[in-house]
Structure 1
Amino acid sequence: MYSGTILLASTVLTVVMATGLSFGYVLSSLKVKKAIERCLVLIESIPDLLLIFMLQLFFVWLYKQTGVNFVNIYAFGSKQAYFLPIVTMSLVPALHFFRIMVLFLVEEQHKPYVEFARAKGLGRKYILFVHLFRNVIYHLFNHLQSTFLVMVSSLLLVEAAFNINGYMSFILKPLALQPVTFAWWIFLLFIPFYTIFTLAQFQIKRTTGGLANEK
């Protein structure tokens, strides 16, 4: 449950961060776009372990300056760490998902219906929020599933860095190497998230006409 909560929250945060950043990027000026791209290149060049270490040091410094413990840096005893593991797991995937989202939105902007909407006097924000995003969300969801697999692969590093006795930590134990135990442990991760993604995909198809767009 601990690792599942972190994975689910990280996935939601990845979508929220990528969506907000992509909307701001598409609506911003050329100068702002270049500044965003430079920041993205800088963040993506930082290794995951170094990023975790920097965030931990920042909150240690913040604690020394203010005397207030804003977040738990490590999971210890009954104290569980949520904020930093979720942020570190979602930051880099959010940047990759943002790039994919921008590519789809820019490609969608050149379609005839967008020009027709502009000719009717509709604003850029309205076209982006109501039309463009609705027409690309189905394809974005397919990429989100591959992004989720990347986040699962980074879960082991996050659990080790934050002293979390979670899902990946159990796999490293000798008991988990038994075939039956290992199979059940895989199903415990696969079945809940497969159900969530299947239901979400079904709902997206109903609301956006995903099957028609796919054809």
Structure 2
Amino acid sequence: MERKFGRFLIVLVAITLSVIFICHIPALLFKDIPPPADQPFAMETKELGFFPGNYFIELKKTFIELLHFKEISYIAQGTNVERTIFPYILESYTYSLLLLFVSLFIALFFAVIFTTGTFYLPRRMQEAAKTFLTVLEALPDVFVIFSLQLGAIWVFKHTNLLVTEPYSVSGQKIYFLPILTLSLIPMIYLYKNTILMYENELGKPYVELGVAKGMGKLYILVRHVFPNVLYSFFYNLKYMYLLLLSNMIILEYMFNIYGILQFMTNHPSYEIILAGLILLTLPLSIVFFLIQSFLPKGVMYVDQKAM
């Protein structure tokens, strides 16, 4: 355990430094050129080139800022008020994390429910469901988000019933439609892959033994197949989080949600972008490490004992 924790700390430091170095690539390629002395009100321009000196200067400034992270400040949008990023960034951060984790739970829950129901359908309908899921998976994320927004507006227009807010106004926090949208895209992916994993499990000897003993299909699926598939979900958790995060970038923009990614976009300084990325990577890396520490090595079929 101590060796695992030591390796984890090394990986954590490596991830943090990689994020810092990558975020400063613009400083390596672009350099700010101040306006001429006789034109003090002219806009600052950027020169394209290769500026390693400028890159290391910006890196040094950022490291100093991060050492005093509580003093990192920004100008509030639409005002001239200067604020420190804490605690304001934490409000956007917790809002985004709530949307991400609730969406992930809903996607996993319904993917398992739909998969279990699919295996009660005739074989031909199962194949049709997989083909349909492949088509849905090919749809662009923007199309899915826009369709759900348009659907909410269409329902309101024809029934005068506002099912949910289709757009955030004046920093308003909306939940239903963003969570529905964010969970729908990974749910399609999980549903399709869960079907494939279930099919793989159903060919195992322990399932045949359960059938021979007269166990019901639902009992075998829920009690024995599902726990083994769940291990695969845990080992794919990082990929699912990245998938949700990439969708979150589009979602925050289209719903005008003031989450952590919108906060970083509206205040594009090296320090604020790094603070946001560190908040998104480090705490969750710790969660992933703790989960993997308690899981068996590899995807083990712990339930394949004689039933």
TM-score using structure 2 length: 0.62
Aligned to 1:83: 176
- Per the TM alignment, residue 123 of structure 1 is displaced from its structure 2 partner at its CA by 0.8
Task: Give the 3-state SS of the residue equivalent to 1:64 in structure 2.
Answer: helix
Would the alpha carbon gap of residues 15 and 197 (structure 1) be closer, same or farther in structure 2, given more than 3 Å must change? farther
Q: Does 1:177 align with 2:263?
A: no
Task: Using the aligned pairs only, state the percent identity.
Answer: 31
- 1:186 matches 2:272: no
**Residue of structure 1 equivalent to 2:245:** 152
Amino acid across the alignment from 2:173: Q
Give 1:213 shift.
4.6
More strand by share: 2
Question: 1:163 aligned to 253, 256, 263, which one?
Answer: 256
Indicate yes or no: 2:297 matched with 1:211: yes
Give the TM-score of the pair, scaled to structure 1. 0.86
Structure label with greater radius of gyration: 2
- Hey, what's the Cα distance between the residues in 1 that align with 2:111 and 2:181? 14
Q: 1:202 to 1:124 in 2, by over 3 A?
A: farther
Between structures 1 and 2, the one with greater helix share: 1
Shift of 1:129: 0.4
Instruction: Report if the CA contact (8 A) 2:114-2:191 is conserved.
Output: yes
Q: Give 1:123-162 correspondences, 5 Å limit.
A: 123-162=216-255
Structure 1 residue 72 corresponds to structure 2 residue 165? yes
What is the one-letter code of the residue matched to 1:143?
Answer: N
Q: Which runs of 5+ in 2 are unaligned?
A: 1-93, 302-307
- How far apart are 1:126 and its partner, in Å? 0.5
Match of 1:112 in 2: 205
Alpha-carbon distance, 1:132 to partner: 0.8
Q: CA RMSD for the aligned pairs?
A: 2.2
SS in 2 for 1:51: helix
Measure how far apart 1:75 and its partner are: 0.8
CA offsets 1:23-70 (integer angstroms, 9 cap, x no match): 122232113213423432342232221222221121112112222211
Displacement of 1:202 in angstroms is 5.2
* CA 1:183–1:129: 2 relative to 1, 3 Å: same
Count of residue pairs brought into register by the alignment: 208
**Preserved CA contact (<8 Å) 1:27 1:125:** no
